[in-house]
């Protein structure tokens, strides 16, 4: 049986200025990267759909530094089984020396899902992110991150495995929200409350730079569907070893799915 845990139906209701809300959405079940945990699932958004997300992240580091991060993101289902997107991270970094505010560099990404789940084979996807060297808190050099994503479902429960690696010089990485040199995470989620609420738990490993201590983290979060097109998410994370990872990490986000008439097959131009 075909499993489609992204958007069950892309039904378009004509509203204003050529914008169409996506109805019958089950976007609460989407695990996007860092919303509410680092792990994401293997499925892209529906073809021709757009999703605007405005997440906020807070992290209190081992050395006492504090990071506040807002990362507006726009994703588009450009092709069948594929999405592309743009992220614009804005950050504040607070240290004993003071607070730095700035743009942490734009990121472009693409995700391709090779298959939906089958009786034996799980869903498999590949994601690529490029961090561009723009902004006071951004990278000095482009950084390419490649990630493999696996999702397996058992009814209302799903298991996800992510493995990622970044190509680029350690001294050229962004000051804030830098992609890890490598990362591995395992997450499980389950749907509750008439299929409008998703709870997720995660265990992760990552290395921020070559030779840096390996961080071991635990995280938990939820996604809740407020309306057919609006989803809220929240998460919390904590390090499990003394010398690496956040003392405390928090996420809070809001996302909205919609369509544009001229981009849809048979829609008005």
CATH number of the domain bearing residue 189: 2.40.160.40
Q: What is the token pair recorded at 238? A: 């904590």
Which residue's entry shows tokens 């799915």? 257
pLDDT computed for residue 22 by the predictor: 46
pLDDT computed for residue 266 by the predictor: 60
Residue 151 lies in a domain: yes
Domain count, the chain: 1
Q: How far apart are CA 75 and CA 64, in angstroms?
A: 34
Residues spanned by the domain of 213: 11-263
Q: What is the dihedral of CA 75, 78, 81, 85, to 10 degrees?
A: -30
Residue 3 lies in a domain: no
Q: How far apart are CA 203 and CA 188, in angstroms?
A: 9
- Read off the pLDDT of residues 106-122 as tens digits, 9 standing for 90 and up: 999 999 999 999 988 99
Residue 247 lies in a domain: yes
Residue 2 lies in a domain: no
Residue 255 lies in a domain: yes
pLDDT computed for residue 264 by the predictor: 67
- Read off the pLDDT of residues 10-30 as tens digits, 9 standing for 90 and up: 333 333 334 455 444 557 788
Q: What is the dihedral of CA 226, 232, 238, 239, to 10 degrees?
A: 130
Residue 35 lies in a domain: yes
DSSP letters, the chain, are: -----S-S--EE---STTEEEEES--GGG--BTTBSSS---S-PPPTT-EEEEEEEEEEE-TTS-EEEEE--EEEEEEETTEEEEEE--EEEEEETTEEEEEE---EEEEEEEEE---SSPPEEEEEEEEE-S-STTS-SS-EEEEEEEEEEEETTEEEEEEEEEEES-GGGS-SSSPPPSEEEEEEEEEEETTTTEEEEEEEEEEESSTTPPEEEEEEEEEEEEEETTEEEEEEEEEESBTTBS-SEEEEEEEEEEEEEGGGSTT---
Residues in the chain predicted with pLDDT less than 70, given as ranges, are 1-26, 194, 262-269
Residue 1 lies in a domain: no
Residue 269 lies in a domain: no
Asked if 45 and 51 touch (Cβ cutoff 8 Å), the reply is yes
Q: What is the token pair recorded at 21? A: 């809300």
pLDDT computed for residue 267 by the predictor: 58
Average pLDDT score, the chain = 85
Q: How far apart are CA 46 and CA 85, in angstroms?
A: 13
- Read off the pLDDT of residues 215-236 as tens digits, 9 standing for 90 and up: 899 999 999 999 888 999 999 9
């Amino acid at each position: 049986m075909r499993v489609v845990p992204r958007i069950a139906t892309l039904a378009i209701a004509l509203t204003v200025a050529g914008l169409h809300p996506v109805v019958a959405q089950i976007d609460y079940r989407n695990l996007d990267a860092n919303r509410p945990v680092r792990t994401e699932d293997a499925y892209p958004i529906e073809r021709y759909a757009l999703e605007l997300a405005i997440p906020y992240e807070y992290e209190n580091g081992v050395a006492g530094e504090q990071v506040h991060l807002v990362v507006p993101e726009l994703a588009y289902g450009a092709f069948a089984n594929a999405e592309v997107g743009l992220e614009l991270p804005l950050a504040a970094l607070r240290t004993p020396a003071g607070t730095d505010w700035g743009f942490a560099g734009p990121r472009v990404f693409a995700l391709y899902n090779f298959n939906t789940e089958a009786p034996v084979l799980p869903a498999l996807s590949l994601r690529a992110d490029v961090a561009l060297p723009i902004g006071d808190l951004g990278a000095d050099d482009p950084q390419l991150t490649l990630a493999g994503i696996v999702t397996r479902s058992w009814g209302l429960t799903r298991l996800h495995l992510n493995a990622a690696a970044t190509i680029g010089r350690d001294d050229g990485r962004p000051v804030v929200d830098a992609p890890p040199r490598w990362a591995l995470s395992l997450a499980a989620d389950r749907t509750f409350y008439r299929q409008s609420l998703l709870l997720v738990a995660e265990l992760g490993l990552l290395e921020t730079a070559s030779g840096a201590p390996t961080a071991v983290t635990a995280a938990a979060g939820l996604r809740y569907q407020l309306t057919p097109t609006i989803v809220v998410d929240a998460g919390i994370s904590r390090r499990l070893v003394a010398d690496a990872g956040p003392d405390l990490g928090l996420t809070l986000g809001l996302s909205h799915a919609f369509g544009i008439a001229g981009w849809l097959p048979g829609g008005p131009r």
